[in-house]
Amino acid sequence: MKLFVASVPYDFDDVDLKEMFELYGEVNSAKVVLDRETGKSRGFGFVDMPDDSEAKQAIETLDGASIKGKKMAVKQAEDQPRGGSGGGGYRGGRDNNSGGRPGPSRRY
């Protein structure tokens, strides 16, 4: 199961993220997303755990946990359609509904 992890401490790297989730089971991969221009953490990442029950336990335990003064959010990542411009992949389970108004344009 692929997990989306928000509010990751900015000094965490891939190894730190992997080690935190390995407390709950096997981790195939862990990736902290970096800003392309600065190379610094953007404060979120993705973790892939092969065992769904271990991944669900990690979600239950770590979602809302305070790490280095930041309250993390951990959710199952949602499939994002592939194709078009910008690549596809996964995104977190956040609902960005702004009541019908278009939000600010972001370039990733």
Say which CATH number the domain at 25 has: 3.30.70.330
pLDDT tens digits for range 44-57: 999 999 999 999 99
pLDDT tens digits for range 9-36: 999 999 999 999 999 999 999 999 999 9
**Per the domain annotation, does 101 fall within a domain?**
no
**Per the domain annotation, does 99 fall within a domain?**
no
What's the mean pLDDT in 48-73?
Answer: 95
Give the list of residues 6+ apart from residue 90 with CB closer than 8 angstroms, or none: 2, 4, 46, 77, 78, 79, 80
**Per the domain annotation, does 72 fall within a domain?**
yes
Would you say the pTM of this structure is higher than 0.85?
no
User: Residue 92: its pLDDT value, please?
Assistant: 56
Q: Please check whether residue 63 is in contact with residue 3, taking contact to mean a CB–CB distance below 8 angstroms.
A: no
